[in-house]
Amino acid sequence: MSIFKSSNPVLSEKTFKGTIFEGIRDESQMMTMRGTINKFGFVLLLMLASSVFSWNYFYAGKDPLPLMIVSVFGGLGVVLIMAFKKVLIIATASLAVFYLIVWVLFLLKMPVPAFLYEGSPIGIGFSVVVVALAALNLLLDFDFIEKGSEAGLPKYMEWFAATGLLVTLVWLYLEILRLLSKLNSRK
């Protein structure tokens, strides 16, 4: 099916194998754009609440590193569980592996590649490529939601679409901040 061309690792054809029942079209049990947006709002609120909690934890003078490590690897685990049900897109998967390696280097207090944080032409170019990749993933996520709604995917697929959309938006946001930081350091 052409609706499964998302490069978001959470949304792929294998994720949906065996979930569409031929001949059964119960409108109340089908994926809708509104339902996906509602579920996206819910997961976004969960993310914001955990961010506020983390900020208050830090502001109270406590060390947030243990919470951050648990959150990062817990979230990564959830996304990977969802991602292994579909075909991974090479560029997105390669970048995810690269970032995972950088996290491990950071946790082991080993040097990380300088272009990740400095405003050199290579660093800025890398960030521009990553922002473009994230933006294309965002476009593909919206395309998936629209086509999934039209195709009548099961209602629970709204959760997959909402989670994929949230992951892409957070990724895009962080990469834009990283790019702006690199551009600002060149002044």
Q: How much is the pLDDT for 138? A: 82
Q: How much is the pLDDT for 22? A: 44
In a domain, 179, yes or no: yes
Q: How much is the pLDDT for 177? A: 92
Q: How much is the pLDDT for 156? A: 83
- Extract the tokens encoding 117: 């944080």
Closest CA to 86 of 4, 14, 2, 161: 14
pTM for this one? 0.58
Residues of the chain predicted below pLDDT 50: 1-2, 21-24, 85, 87
Q: How much is the pLDDT for 89? A: 64
In a domain, 77, yes or no: yes
How many domains, in total, are found in the chain? 1
In a domain, 2, yes or no: no
In a domain, 157, yes or no: yes
- Extract the tokens encoding 44: 């976004």
Q: How much is the pLDDT for 12? A: 59
In a domain, 46, yes or no: yes
In a domain, 21, yes or no: no
In a domain, 5, yes or no: no
Structural domain that includes position 64:
30-185
